[in-house]
Amino acid sequence: MKVILKNIEKEGYDGSIASYISEGGYEALKIALKKTPEDILSELKKSKLVGRGGAAFPTGMKWEFARNSKETPKYVVCNADEGEPGTFKDRLILENDPHMLIEAMAIAGFTVGASQGFIYIRGEYFKAYDVLTAAIEDAVKNNCLGNNILGSDFSFNISLYRGAGAYVCGEETALLDSLEGKKGQSRVKPPFPTFVGYQNKPTVLNNVETLSNVPQIILNGGDWYSKIGSADCPGTKLYCLSGDVKKPGVYELPTGITLKELIDTYGGGVDGKLKAVLPGGVSSSFLAADQLDVKMDYPSLQKAGSMLGSAAVMVVNDTHCMVDLAKRCTEFFDYESCGKCTPCREGTKRAREIFINMSQAAGEATDIALLKELQDVMYDTSRCGLGQAAMNAAGSAMDKFPSEFEKHITKKNCELGICPMEKV
Amino acid sequence: MSLEKCKKQLETILAGCEGKRESLLPCLHAACEQCGHVSEEVISYLAEKLDLPRVEVYSAASFYSMFSLEEMGKNVIRVCVSLSCYLKGSNKVIKALENELSITAGQTTPDKKFTIEPVSCLGLCDKAPAMMVNEEVYGDLTAAKIKDIINQYRQKEAK
Amino acid sequence: MASKMINLTIDNNKVQVPEGTTVLKAAKSIGVNVPNLCFHEDLSIYGACRLCVVEIEKHPRLEPSCATLAEEGMVVKTNSTRVRKARRMIVELLLANHPEDCLTCDRNQICELRKIAHDLGIRKLRFEKGRKYDYALDESSPSIVRDPNKCIQCGRCIRVCSEVQAVGAIDFVDRGGRTQVLTFLNKGLDNVECTNCGQCILVCPTGALREKTAVDDVWAAIDDPKKFVVVQTAPAVRAAIGEDFGMPAGSLVTGKMTSSLRRLGFDKIFDTQFAADLTIMEEGHELIGRVTNKGVLPMITSCSPGWIKYVEHFFPECLAHISSCKSPQQMFGAVAKTYYADKIGIKPEDMYVVSIMPCTAKKFEAERPEMNDSGVIDVDAVLTTREAARMIQEAGIDFTNMPDEDFDKPLGISTGAATIFGASGGVMEAALRTAYEVITSKTLEKVEFEQVRGMDGLKTATVDVDGLELKVAVANGLANAKVLLEQIAKGESPYHFIEIMACPGGCLGGGGQPIPTNLEIRKKRAAALYREDEGMPIRKSHENPAITAIYEEFLEKPLGEKSHHLLHTSYTKRERY
């Protein structure tokens, strides 16, 4: 079952407006423009679509909040700041099927009563930027964007806005600040963006993948969508397989597929002997090799002590040292922390230092307990998801592979010979 | 000097948008692309046009890793060092680049032709280890491939 | 309109607060002071230090009480195992960067971070192996020293600089653990649009910001037998310095201050208030001249050097509106080293003039190249109120039990009009008292002008001066000044005369005043100054006999040739971009 990649995986499909229209593109928008916003909201709610960015908030409810918000103007913002390491699904859509996103944003605009949309796109996505620029022009030429879209009285425009290299801007309120030309630092929530968003106006903010589901939901109905995949979190999901796997890539599969199926059936199996998996990027917790039967949806992974996040599935084989990987993960967060709140700014810095010490034979017996306490406090007090999740991977590595850490600390030994185990 | 190089682009972006802060990031991008960095002159110019304190423009420019306050090489090599690429040997990529260009990661060659910039995930994880040179994407890298790629750019420079 | 009341439970206590109250404030109302660092009542909510986190039922994570509004039925715990664990960890993380030099730190005794670490029972540093900052100090400014190594990134300095002062001289630079508070391209405070107001020092919770001290220079002068050392004290100092000796805010300690300074070894204890009266004579006549000769209006006061530097940077097109009068500090210096030096037969170069000021910008002002009209530097050293208190402490003087003594004559003679210079609106009121009588030749029935008093940032009034409707405005805090300046720049200012003080509340809230300084304390200091004014035998500057004498013996007349040379100055256009 393909909802999002149905065009992209078709041979000869080039993502142009002509090929999009020939595959039934912009039909959903036509239908939507004849419905009332309330009808669209009801289909969306029936579909049980939840945000694919990681927070899994019901999309229908989000749009309804924005629609009911009294303030005007309203905005639609697409989060195309794909930055979670191991995630490369949005790039695929942006470069290969841009009109699907444009159509979805127009439907969102019509539903919530916005006439301006923004796509906040990663600064490093040069090609996707060029493709989208051309696609927006084509959409305007074909009256799928602009004034009086498809003969209706609805007008909607989309502006592209480039990020500039800050992972934290994937966080929705940091993204909004960045979109306003400021540093990308999270805002205090509440109020949520659906009430106080871009320029303090009601704003619907959705991830590329989330929006990409919308045209098909409009065409086929919410009930149809809700029957795909697992019942409590239906639909398809784009899984990004990377790391030590034979066939890395983006796979669109119904939610509820098991991790084992994903890796073995679609990814061609592990490259080497499996050691651990990060199912939702470096913000998620490691799963051990014996946890592969977990279903790849939001609630199941949460129960398993991890999270689906953006579904960046990173496979780790047994040639890798977990202390080294914990160090690498905390280095990432230390580099990407916005620096605003104490626990994240200082916590990532100190965690990184401690893992470096461990890898250089300077670990101490008290380190594990201190890091666990630090993890708790960072989770409990950080201002945004970045700091709250920053210790997930490192913390779970310590939980699941305690003896490896133990050996580094007490025996000053990295059995895999990866850590230097001396002062560098 | 550096302002002259990008002033036209900045004026285009700012046309009708003076005093609008949301023009700042597009302007900083333009400055970096046209003159390899965000210079003092450019910051002062933008601060005045956007009615912001200079230090606020400086602050924003310093926050984003794509904006450089120091002059970058003509070719910016962005090497992903995030986990997916790391698992597939991004360390070796960095080392190969360092050997080839005789600089360390983060530096620019003395002839200002190349900069090695370790960056967070570029969304090329299925082609790990991966990097970008300017706007071009390179995946499944090996030391030998890197040598070839650099040589291509050297030849381009020589022409 | 009575606001809706919210009922919540905090630590098992039922609490009722108006809608819009933060949990932090609600907790305070039942006597619980939730520790905090980035919060400051004069500034916007920042919610970043995370020290004020509390547990709220049904919330998955701890919440910052400074940034969380009380909601109906909310159940809050401010003191649970979970909360204490989080708070301690956060302080430990801050201390991991922090230099361990509390014994020699400027903020020893009054550091908020030190107090919190003590209160939370932090007895061990678990991140002791961690690297500490190693940044260079910014000592470029004559007024303010920044030590980035002691910065905990609470952002209070940045917020006061941009929100209260509309200056924006500093901001966070870079990100993550590499974040630093810096000036533009790290040029240093002296090389950017910093006004030297020192409000950043007042709000800094640690020793990351302090005045550049002149204490040792002053000791050296006192100890130098060849120097005749005179000291002048600004009006706002007498209403605040007692706080540094544990006295309650609002204690008026003019007499104890005078006797303490005498014990320190100054040769003469004079009063900047004398020069304030002189300022009124000059400025009042300048105003009358501008009004009657259709000069540039509105005219704006020039006493506050932070304000002067602000206008030089931000509104250089408005410089013609600024009164050409030097500030009282500089008038004093010029007069002391000419009129008084001559009177007692001392060469200007053998006299050393020390100012005690509530202000850090005064240090910059004294160093301005224009301020050498006596032939040598007019004011040799400027001490803040805090530095003066430190000298008194160093000398072991029991300040609170000192006898009350008077200032020396003649430069210590002043009026109530001069006393209120220390409060926002005071210069305006003093000027009106004199201008009214000079213009109308009538006696002013009621000397108090209540409309221009108080802590409001912007105050306006229309005063009937015998048929002339004099429109006046008073601003304190540079963000408020900016509003009036923008009107002037657009040619839309309706005023004749404007008083501007850089600091909130006027000089009594100056950047050199005791720490803490906040709204409540500023109000008490103002009350003290107005109390002093009320008790003074003479309350109008032009009735000061010492002022009459100096014009008779030396200056001849306001705006005369000697005045022009010694008491007036000019301004410099400065860059902003």
> Domains in chain A, please, with CATH?
17-226 (3.40.50.11540), 236-317 (3.10.20.600), 322-410 (1.20.1440.230)
Q: Grade residue A189 by pLDDT with cuts at 50, 70 and 90.
A: confident
SS in 3 state form for chain A?
Answer: CCCCCCCCCCCCCCCCHHHHHHCCCCHHHHHHHHCCHHHHHHHHHHHCCECCCCCCCEHHHHHHHHHHCCCCCCEEEEEECCCCCCCCHHHHHHHHCHHHHHHHHHHHHHHHCCCEEEEEECCCCHHHHHHHHHHHHHHHHCCCCECCHHHCCCCEEEEEEECCCCHHHHCHHHHHHHHCCCCCCCCCCCCCCCCCCHHHCCEEEEEHHHHHCHHHHHHHCHHHHHCCCCCCCCCEEEEEEEECECCCEEEEEECCCEHHHHHHHHCCCECCCEEEEEEEEECCCCEEHHHCCCECCHHHHHHCCCCCCCCEEEEEECCCCHHHHHHHHHHHHHHHCCCCCHHHHHHHHHHHHHHHHHHCCCCCCCHHHHHHHHHHHHHHHCCCHHHHHCCHHHHHHHHHCHHHHHHHHHCCCCCCCCCCCCCC
Q: How far off is chain A from C68, nearest CA to CA, in Å? A: 8
Specify whether C546 is located in the same domain as C418.
Answer: yes
pLDDT at C296 over 60: yes
Mean pLDDT confidence for A63-86: 96
pLDDT of residue C468: 87
pLDDT at B18 over 90: no
Burial B106-117 (b: 16+ CB within 10 A, else e): eebeeeeebbbb
pLDDT of residue C317: 96
CB-based contact C576 B54, cutoff 8 Å = yes
Q: Which of C92, C139, C163, C370 is catalytic?
A: C370
In a domain, residue C575? The reply is: no
Specify whether C163 is located in the same domain as C253.
Answer: no
Q: Grade residue C255 by pLDDT with cuts at 50, 70 and 90.
A: very high
Mean pLDDT confidence for B130-153: 96
pLDDT at C68 over 90: yes
CB-based contact C577 B47, cutoff 8 Å = yes
In a domain, residue C324? The reply is: yes
Mean pLDDT confidence for A50-79: 95
Specify whether C563 is located in the same domain as C467.
Answer: yes
CATH number (domain holding residue C139): 3.30.70.20
Kind plus residue range of the DSSP H or E element containing C351: strand C351-357
Query: Looking only at Cα atoms, what is the longest distance across chain A?
Result: 74
pTM value is 0.96
Query: Looking only at Cα atoms, what is the longest distance across chain B?
Result: 50
CB contact at 8 A, B145 and B138 = yes
Q: Grade residue B152 by pLDDT with cuts at 50, 70 and 90.
A: very high
pLDDT at A53 over 90: no
Tokens of A391: 């210790």
CB-based contact A341 C131, cutoff 8 Å = no
A59, HSE (Cβ side, Cα atoms, 13 Å): 35
Q: Is B37 on the interface with C (CB under 8 A)?
A: no
pLDDT of residue C1: 53
The per-type count for chain C, helices as H runs and strands as E runs, is 20, 17
Mean pLDDT confidence for A67-87: 96
Task: State in words which class domain B75-158 has.
Answer: alpha beta
Radius of gyration, CA atoms only, chain B: 17
- Inter-CA distances, A70 with A176, A201, A202, C276, Å: 20, 10, 8, 55
Specify whether C75 is located in the same domain as C224.
Answer: no
Specify whether C167 is located in the same domain as C276.
Answer: no
Domain extent, residue C127, equals: 93-211
Residue B47: list chain C partners with CB under 8 A.
577
Strand C13-18 versus strand C5-10 pairing type: antiparallel
pLDDT of residue B158: 87
pLDDT at C129 over 60: yes
CB contact at 8 A, A406 and A345 = no
Q: Which of C193, C211, C286, C532 is catalytic?
A: C286
DSSP assignments along C179-191, one per residue: -EEEEGGG--GGG
CA C506-C511-C514 angle, 5° bins: 100
pLDDT at C311 over 60: yes
Written as one letter, the residue type at A33 is: L
pLDDT of residue A55: 85
CATH number (domain holding residue C547): 3.40.50.1780
Specify whether C178 is located in the same domain as C251.
Answer: no
Q: Which residue has the tokens 């072991």?
A: C396
B106-121 confidence digits (pLDDT tens): 999 999 999 999 999 9
What are the boundaries of each domain within chain B? 2-63, 75-158
In chain C, the residue whose alpha carbon lies closest to the alpha carbon of B38 is C185
C226-252 confidence digits (pLDDT tens): 999 999 999 999 999 999 999 999 999
Q: Which of C79, C110, C139 corresponds to the end of one domain? A: C79
pLDDT at C529 over 90: yes
Mean pLDDT confidence for C385-405: 98
Of A90, A164, A248, the CB nearest to B25: A164
Specify whether C411 is located in the same domain as C375.
Answer: yes
**Dihedral angle, C-alpha C397, C402, C404, C405, nearest 10 °:** -40
Mean pLDDT (chain C) is: 97
pLDDT at C505 over 60: yes
CB contact at 8 A, C299 and C286 = yes
Of B48, B55, B63, the CB nearest to C184: B55
Mean pLDDT confidence for A275-304: 96
CB-based contact C177 A349, cutoff 8 Å = yes
Mean pLDDT (chain A) is: 97
pLDDT of residue C290: 95
CB-based contact A243 B22, cutoff 8 Å = no
Q: Is B70 on the interface with C (CB under 8 A)?
A: no
B70 burial class (0-12, 13-18, 19+ CB within 10 angstroms)?
exposed
Tokens of C174: 């870079």
Specify whether C98 is located in the same domain as C51.
Answer: no
Return the percentage of chain C with pLDDT > 70, whole number. Answer: 100
Whether residue C365 lies in the annotated active site: yes
pLDDT at B28 over 80: yes
pLDDT of residue B17: 84
Specify whether C193 is located in the same domain as C222.
Answer: no
Residue B67's φ and ψ, nearest 5 degrees, are: -95, 125
Specify whether C432 is located in the same domain as C420.
Answer: yes
A349-406 confidence digits (pLDDT tens): 999 999 999 999 999 999 999 999 999 999 999 999 999 999 999 999 999 999 999 9
Whether residue C507 lies in the annotated active site: yes
Q: Which of C13, C45, C79 corresponds to the end of one domain? A: C79
Structural domain count, chain C: 3
Distance CA A157, CA C520 (A): 51
Q: Which of C49, C303, C325, C503 is catalytic?
A: C303
Instruction: Find residue C271's DSSP bridge partners.
Output: C233
Specify whether C400 is located in the same domain as C327.
Answer: yes
Q: Grade residue B1 by pLDDT with cuts at 50, 70 and 90.
A: low
Q: Grade residue C577 by pLDDT with cuts at 50, 70 and 90.
A: confident
Specify whether C270 is located in the same domain as C193.
Answer: no
pLDDT of residue A232: 87
Q: Is C175 on the interface with B (CB under 8 A)?
A: yes
CB-based contact A345 C130, cutoff 8 Å = no
A64 burial class (0-12, 13-18, 19+ CB within 10 angstroms)?
buried
Which of C89, C126, C132, C181 is the best substitution to test chain A (most A C-beta atoms within 10 A)?
Answer: C89
Return the percentage of chain B with pLDDT > 90, whole number. Answer: 90
List residues in chain B touching A: CB distance below 8 A: 20-26, 28-29, 50, 59-60, 63-67, 78, 82-84, 86-88, 119-128, 132, 135, 137
Residue C484's φ and ψ, nearest 5 degrees, are: -70, -35
